[in-house]
Amino acid sequence: MSNSNYYRPFEKPLQHLGIDDWRTRTNHLCNLASVHRTNALDLIQTSRSVRDENQVQAHFNTTNNTIRLANRVQELDRWYAEIRLCLDHLLKEINLLRLEKSLTESTLDALSLRLSVATECLSMRDHRVHGELTQDDANVELKRELATVESSVKMLADQCQRAWEQLNRLNEVKMKLNLELMHKNEARDCDNQQRFTNEVCSNITFKTDPMRNPRNCCTYDGWLEHTKQIKHIAENEMESSCRMRESLFVAREKTKNSLENQQELTEHTLRKRIFDTQRARNEFEWQIIKNKNEMKILLNEIEQIESALESNAKATKLAETRLENRCQRPGMELCMDGVYNGLCDEIKQLQFAQHQLNEKLSISKASYNQLELNLKQLDADLKKKQHTLDTDIRALDLRQRLKMDASEDITTENRQMTLTNLQQET
């Protein structure tokens, strides 16, 4: 029996490979493992290269964006400082314009005094009696002053209205600047926070569509143009406000100069008119004195009894006329005062004397009556001129309210002589 047949019952019923096949298979597996190791090594090298490149790129991107955020914060700081400075100048301009507007309104309020004084002077001079109510230079200058005050009031009121409108525009720009500063401050805080945010912070998460365009967003050029425009608008409004302040100052000074010139001219014409009236009044007083002297001469030429009777009649008529005229006093002014008792006593005494001298009239009555009539006319005109003189002096006194720096107090007794300088007249 052969050896193969001897061991056959101990072999497994499986296909056996030959030595060559086994060696071929082993070499194949070794070669395949070597190829896989080579591929894995290449993959490791490639992956490491990609990983390093991505890490470096990510680091540089993060660093560059951090620098960009820092530059953006600096830019926001620079614009914030410029807008803040512009706002400070704007607030200063608002205060200056308000001050100029307040001064102009004060000047406008002060014009009401000039208006009332001019109107009251015209009304006062209209109370002159018939024969003295003339259209003189004083009236012309008072009306011219009234027209000047009214035109100045209109001009200053228009200037105040324009200043009020300019203030509204400045306040609107101030609100825009404050809003711009608030936005830039918030943007600066936001960018500063992002600047110091890194990958180890606890508040970083994945976001849904982070690269979307936010609503109402604009381009950088649009933002820069908007910021420059806000500053440009504020500068333009400040220039307009500066011109407005200059126009307010010019209007006040123009009003002051024109009114002062017109005031001096008006008061000069009033003083001139007072001087003319004073001179006419002095002439009438001199005529009355001469008339009385002539009456005295005439009375000396007639009989004493006729002179006494005539004097008695005149005195009686004068007392009765005074008493009767005083009955025309209005309201509570119609009282029985000391003048009334004195006039009654005077009338009683004159009536008693007239009863005694009733039969002693003379032919000299006509001549004496003529002188008396002339005297009454002179006296009536003297009273009219005195009333006119007092009216003009009161008007001039009234205008002293316009002179705030008047320090000299002129008494009533020397007021007439002081105003007219007639103490030197003989």
* Per-position DSSP letters for 213-274, written without gaps between them: PPTT---HHHHHHHHHHHHHHHHHHHHHHHHHHHHHHHHHHHHHHHHHHHHHHHHHHHHHHH
Q: Higher pLDDT residue, 422 or 376?
A: 376
Q: Higher pLDDT residue, 380 or 418?
A: 380
- Residue 309 has what pLDDT? 65
Residue 282 reports pLDDT greater than 50: yes
Residue 170 reports pLDDT greater than 60: yes
Angle at which helices 220-301 and 19-125 cross, to 10°:
10
Cα 337–Cα 393–Cα 111 angle in degrees, nearest 5: 115
Quick: pLDDT tens for 72-98: 999 999 999 999 999 999 999 999 999
Residue 228 reports pLDDT greater than 50: yes
- Residue 293 has what pLDDT? 81
CATH 1.20.1260.80 in the chain is located at 77-198+219-264
Phi, psi of 317 (to 5 degrees): -60, -40
* Residue with the two structure tokens 């006509």: 366
- Residue 301 has what pLDDT? 66
Q: Higher pLDDT residue, 422 or 247?
A: 247
- Measured CA to CA in angstroms, residue 394 lies from 114, 122, 388 at distances of 16, 12, 10
Confidence tier at 358 by pLDDT (50, 70, 90): low
Residue 419 reports pLDDT greater than 70: no
- Residue 404 has what pLDDT? 54
CA 389/CA 275 separation, integer angstroms: 9
* Contacts for 87 with CB less than 8 Å, ≥ 6 apart: 174, 177, 178, 181, 234
**Percent of the chain clearing pLDDT 70 (strictly above):** 81
3-state secondary structure at position 36: helix
CB count in 10 Å sphere of residue 73: 19
Residue 177 reports pLDDT greater than 90: yes
CA 397/CA 211 separation, integer angstroms: 86
Best-predicted range by mean pLDDT (24-38, 172-186, 193-207): 172-186
**For the whole model, what pTM was predicted?**
0.64
CA 248/CA 160 separation, integer angstroms: 8
Best-predicted range by mean pLDDT (47-61, 340-354, 375-389): 47-61
Do residues 320 and 347 touch, judged by C-beta distance below 8 A?
yes
- Residue 414 has what pLDDT? 47
- Looking at CATH, the fold of the domain delimited by 77-198+219-264 is given as Ferritin (1.20.1260)
Quick: pLDDT tens for 311-331: 676 777 778 887 788 787 776
Confidence tier at 310 by pLDDT (50, 70, 90): low
